[in-house]
């Protein structure tokens, strides 16, 4: 019986080969250097394959799920995802993907994604990558990180790509709500909603995009920061709670900077996936200067 992860990976590879696939094991470092084991499958004339990570499936196996069912789950995911990424012609058609390109704010320090092959820019002490992002009813949010190799297949330069992504970002709707409102949305019973909405103080606000996917990037649009300053009536702190959202707290609230720094550290350690951590310190937006500062 398979008892360790290495043996499990070999069993998956052999099992998928027996089902008619050509499989390849890859060691992948995701955002912030988190190592994951991925497997790709090819069948027929397909030249593009999604990477399926195996850590979660290994946990299912340890919990008693038979290998045959694990292989079926992997095959089903592969079939769904390959339908989305298998049409290479659409990806290479810049006119098709142009409106789907968005900037994505990520951590700069220790980020294994930021190799020389990836198109990226610096933004303060963070980095901006660029992705083709779209939604699918079956799989959900899909994103393709834009590499320099892919860029060479399009009729645009890196600067032109950045400007296109910036223009697309301006068309995205910022989602800004209080933590009270968010808690109420997640609760079912009205009496609990009412109590929750009145017991959260001082006011903490969530800023993201409509999809809550790479939503922290909304601060790349200066107009969004100015709008938040107007809503909060002055300067505010930004807590980079993940690559998907920012928390905003008025500077004149009862929460001091040291406590917010502690809060961010705790959230990063206990609530956020390592590859989705954005930063470990606060930012402050100065409404009068229209300026963002950090330690």
What is the predicted pLDDT for the residue at 119?
95
Q: Which residue bears the tokens 């079939």?
A: 79
Per-residue pLDDT tens for 218-227? 999 999 999 9
Query: What pLDDT, on the 0 to 100 scale, is given for residue 96?
Result: 87
What pLDDT does 185 receive?
Answer: 60
User: What pLDDT does residue 197 have?
Assistant: 46
Q: How far is CA 180 from the centre of its chain?
A: 24
Backbone angles phi, psi at 232, to 5 degrees: -95, 0
> What residues in the chain have per-residue pLDDT under 50?
45-48, 86, 188-190, 192-198
**233 conformational bin, left if phi > 0, alpha if psi -120 to 50, beta if neither:** left
pLDDT of residue 150: 87
- Tell me what pLDDT residue 111 has: 86
**Which DSSP state fits 146?**
P
Where do the domains of the chain lie? 5-86, 94-169, 174-293
| DSSP bridge pairs for 245 | 242
The answer to whether the bond into 78 is cis (omega within 30° of 0) is no
pLDDT one-digit tens code per residue, 20-48: 877 777 666 555 656 677 777 666 544 44
What's the pLDDT at 137? 61
Whole-Å CA distances, 186 to 183, 198, 200, 202, 246: 5, 15, 14, 20, 18
């Amino acid at each position: 019986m398979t008892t360790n992860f290495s043996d499990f990976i070999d069993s998956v590879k052999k099992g998928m080969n027996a089902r008619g696939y050509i499989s390849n094991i890859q060691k992948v470092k995701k955002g912030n250097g988190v190592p994951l084991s991925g497997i790709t499958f090819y069948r027929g004339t397909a030249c593009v394959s999604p990477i399926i990570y195996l850590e979660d499936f290994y946990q299912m196996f340890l919990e008693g799920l038979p290998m045959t069912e694990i292989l079926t789950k992997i095959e089903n995911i592969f079939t769904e995802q390959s339908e989305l990424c298998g049409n290479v012609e659409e990806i290479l058609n810049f006119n098709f993907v142009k409106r789907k390109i968005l900037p994505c704010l990520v951590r700069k320090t220790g980020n294994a994604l930021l190799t020389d092959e990836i198109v990226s820019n610096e933004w303060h002490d963070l980095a901006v990558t660029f992705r083709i992002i779209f939604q699918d009813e079956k799989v959900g949010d899909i994103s393709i990180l834009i590499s320099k190799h892919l860029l060479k297949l399009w009729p645009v330069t890196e600067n032109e790509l950045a400007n296109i992504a910036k223009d697309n970002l301006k068309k995205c709707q910022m989602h800004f709500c209080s933590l009270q409102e968010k808690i109420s949305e997640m609760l079912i019973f009205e009496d609990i909603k009412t109590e929750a909405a009145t017991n959260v103080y001082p006011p903490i606000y969530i800023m993201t995009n409509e999809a809550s996917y790479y939503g922290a990037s909304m601060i790349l649009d200066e107009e969004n920061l100015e709008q938040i300053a107007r809503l909060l009536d002055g300067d505010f702190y930004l807590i980079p709670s993940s690559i998907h959202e920012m928390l905003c707290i008025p500077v004149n609230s009862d929460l001091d900077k040291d406590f917010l720094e502690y809060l961010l550290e705790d959230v990063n350690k206990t609530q956020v996936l390592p590859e989705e951590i954005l930063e470990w310190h606060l930012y402050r937006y100065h409404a009068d200067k229209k300026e963002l500062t950090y330690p």
